[in-house]
Chains A and B, each alone.
Chain A
Amino acid sequence: MGRSQDYIIQVRGLSKRFGSRSVLHDVEFGIRRGEFVTILGPSGSGKSTLLRIIGGLEKPTEGSIIFDGKDITSMPAEKRPINTVFQHYALFPHLNVYENIAFGLVMKGVDKQQQAERIAEVLQIVGMQGYENYDVRKLSGGQQQRVAIARAIVNKPEVLLLDESLSALDHKLRKQMQRELKAMHRQLGITFIFVTHDQEEAISMSDNIVVLQEGKVQQIASPSEIYNHPSNLFMANFIGENNIIKIQVLDGQKIFLLGQSVEADTNRFMAGDTAYAVIRPEDVLISDATSEEFPWKGVVCSSDFRGVYYETFVQTKTGEILQIRQDKEYETGTSVGIGVARNDLYLVGAEA
């Protein structure tokens, strides 16, 4: 985990049960100051619960939350230097835009003059100048979103929590808000913890991603690391489209893959282990002829143009179907040779 003072937030051994239902299970990770971290996971995986525990709206059953080296597990939400942008915005319907944003400042006893200055500043950041007196119920989803962000950041929190903030927006607006959120993150320099179920969103926005599934952390890594080196079978299935093939680990940096013994990096495994080879469609080599480079033989099932490449499916002699992306078309029914470079063979175990 590195030295603890590197982290603004540390989640330690966190578990949460609602009655007999276990929602988070021994969750542990750290977030560095100023990072944009995304908690990624399918719906129901416990993302909101985790975020609510960090924000102080929910108490963990076990474990603790460390903020800047101090244990804040029992500190109530209103005392934490953390603010939340709620999933459905949760704007106060009886207050206008200005009053909504002012709420946190009023609670802190900031004087009127300073309130006005800070509100003007955040309205500028979220691009909502001139909307001060609008009824929040009459704003569009995107505008409500901006007000919700403004209401949170006006308090100058050290950590901003965003729960599926963009999920309700249409595709185009969503892309735009992604860029704007990134820009706000750079401008404010504070830590963002962003929750989403959308991989693409997580990969395009984050410095680091925490992947959650059924309340368990599956992997914590940078987007490229997650993409290139999934930690386990779940991650290999979850991220991107990969060929995943069950293999046996052999002695001496070799594996038994699709009926052949080939070289691979087996350092994390022992001879005799069962593991899975993860091969990206674009890393599968295909050739009309067979040679040493193409140890497997197969028959083309289909080959379709996909804009920038051909997507070809080949059935191997062992019966597996491989998905292949190359810039050449192959006729259905032809026999081909298949190969994978040693470095493009990535192995994962069933568990992390």
Chain B
Amino acid sequence: MRRLSTFVAPYAIFMVILVILPLVIMAQYAVFDKEGQFTLHFLLSFTNEEILNTFIYSIGVAMETTILCILLGYPIAYILSRKEMGFPAHLITFFILPMGVNMLLNTFALVAVLDVLHIPLGTTALVIGMVYNFLPFMVQPLYNSLCKIDSNLIEAAYDLGASKITAFFKIVVPVSIPGIVSGVMMVFMPTISTFAISELLTMNKVKLFGSVVQASIGSDMLNYGAALSIVMLLVVVITQVLLKDR
């Protein structure tokens, strides 16, 4: 046991300095004003109608992005995971590759593509950009989890009288739920806090919750930004807890 704890030590230090300490500092900013007075003012400002609307709108965009990523990503991941369909195995790399490129670069590239396609920047462009950036994060866990499904399982369903469609919805989808859950975590949670994508693709017209946080920190309203970040963190934690036992 002693040995094991030696190995754990660097991680513990890492956790304290890079995770716990920033959280404490952030919490401190959120509940104390510039004079060092304790106040709930900043946290409560969340109920401000404009902020609340932005928040709800951001959750909406995140949900839309997540659902579109599932709808687009699932068929790709499924087809590529079934070896018997005969697609080359490395084809999956093309769908996952964009993950390795910085999101800002992806988005700049997309702006150019949208221009060529005559799609105006705005809310539609925003959703396209979100899906474009986050799709690989959905495809990867879905693909991994679908690959683990033994094709005998699907054949057993046929053998017991299931059609292809029934076998897909009664066996493949339920068995791949862990993959769907990790995909949702990988997409939904980060989309809540994005700001650069929305700024670039809507020419700053649409404000997401992440943009508000970024803006307030950028304009010396640290306490305010910290309070909003705490709220965002709560959403992420709640999502995580809700999804965890699936």
Contacts and interface: CB of A to CB of B under 8 A. Distances in A.
Contact of B156 (A79, A86, A108): A86
B93 interface: no
Interface stretch (B105-113, B135-143, B147-155): B147-155
Contacts of A108: 161
A107 B162 contact: yes
B85 interface: no
B159 A94 contact: no
A107 B170 CA distance: 11
Interface residues of A, number: 25
Nearest to B170: A103
A104 B156 CA distance: 10
B174 interface: yes
Q: How large is the interface on B (under 10, 10 to 19, 20 to 34, 35 or more residues)?
A: 10 to 19
B153 to A, nearest CB: 5
A57 B159 contact: yes
Interface in B151-188: 152-153, 155-163, 166, 170-171, 174-175, 177
Contacts of A57: 155, 158-159
A76 interface: yes
Interface in B180-228: none
Contacts of A155: 160-161
Interface string A89-103: 011111000000001
B159 A76 contact: no
A107 B175 contact: no
A56 B157 CA distance: 12
B160 A83 contact: yes
B152 A86 contact: yes
A78 B166 CA distance: 11
A326 B155 CA distance: 52
A78 B177 CA distance: 25
28 contacts: A56-B158, A56-B159, A77-B155, A77-B159, A78-B159, A78-B161, A78-B163, A79-B161, A82-B159, A83-B159, A84-B159, A86-B152, A87-B152, A88-B152, A90-B150, A90-B156, A91-B156, A92-B153, A92-B157, A92-B171, A92-B175, A93-B153, A103-B162, A104-B161, A107-B161, A107-B162, A108-B161, A155-B160
Interface of B: 150, 152-153, 155-163, 166, 170-171, 174-175, 177
Interface of A: 55-57, 76-79, 82-84, 86-88, 90-94, 103-104, 107-108, 151-152, 155
